[in-house]
């Protein structure tokens, strides 16, 4: 995976199957970074790790350098306020990062039910301490990372990864990341949106070739 260097630490090594190729590990780590910062605002340790990211001169590499600069400029307090404004708000945040909302205009609709059925078929269930529905952008990124690394049992063949990606990620997540990139409240999260948008484009192209 060209574009980024020193992403390390996004994925718990204990969740990775043995012998994961480097290309697949990097894919999983990018999904892991996206999942972590979308699930909750980063703590001080994660901001420090993100500030150390580097990237090449590709568009994705430049996006990671932008995230590195944003992390270096942020504090735990400023990024927590930004996360609140973007995703929580008073009543609701600027963005609703759920597949059901993007696809139907409402929460907890048919796309969520279909996703839950697909996850059950893969042997994946929401943890008891997680309140967000499974169609949250962070959850879907985490699932993609786990399918790659074997966190849910064994690495899933590329064909099944593509099927899940095409069915549950492609129809809406690119629009969400574009909205995040341009969101009024986004400072730290603008490069997160850019990374998500570019990375999903790369994934789509790679799956088509595969």
Helix, strand or coil, per DSSP, at residue 52:
coil
- Please write the tens of the pLDDT for every residue from 59-85: 999 999 999 999 999 999 999 999 999
Residue 7 has pLDDT above 70, yes or no: no
User: What is the value of pTM for the model shown?
Assistant: 0.91
pLDDT at position 10, please?
Answer: 38
Place of tokens 């609703």: 96
- How many residues are listed for the chain in this entry? 210
Over range 18-37, report the average pLDDT. 92
In CATH, what number is assigned to the domain containing residue 57? 1.10.3480.10
In eight-state DSSP terms, residue 27 is: H
99-132 in b/e form (b: 16+ CB < 10 A) is bbbbbeeeeebebbeebbebbeebebeeeeeeeb
Mark residue 14 as left, alpha or beta (left: phi above 0; alpha: psi -120 to 50; beta: remaining): alpha
The tally of domains found in the chain comes to: 1
What range defines the domain where residue 8 resides? Answer: 4-209
pLDDT at 11: 38
In the numeric block, the tokens 């995703």 are attached to: 87
pLDDT confidence band for 2 (50 / 70 / 90): very low
């Amino acid at each position: 995976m060209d574009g980024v260097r020193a992403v390390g630490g996004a994925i718990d090594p204990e969740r990775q199957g043995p012998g994961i190729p480097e290309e697949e590990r990097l894919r999983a780590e990018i999904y892991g970074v996206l999942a972590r910062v979308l699930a909750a605002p980063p703590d001080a340790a994660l901001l420090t790790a993100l500030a150390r990211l580097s990237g090449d001169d590709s568009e994705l590499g430049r996006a990671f350098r932008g995230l590195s600069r944003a992390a270096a400029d942020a504090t735990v307090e400023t990024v927590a306020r930004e996360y609140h404004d973007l995703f929580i708000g008073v009543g609701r945040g600027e963005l609703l990062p759920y597949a059901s909302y993007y696809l139907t205009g409402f929460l907890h609709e048919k796309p969520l039910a279909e996703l839950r059925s697909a996850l059950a078929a893969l042997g994946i269930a929401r943890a008891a301490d997680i309140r967000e529905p499974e169609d949250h952008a962070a959850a879907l990124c985490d699932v993609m990372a786990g399918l790659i690394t074997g966190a849910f049992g064994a690495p899933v063949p590329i064909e099944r990864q593509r099927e899940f990606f095409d069915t549950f990620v492609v129809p809406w997540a690119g629009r969400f990341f574009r909205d995040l990139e341009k969101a009024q409240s986004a400072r730290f999260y603008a490069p997160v949106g850019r990374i998500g948008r570019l990375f999903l484009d790369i994934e789509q192209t790679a799956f088509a070739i595969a």
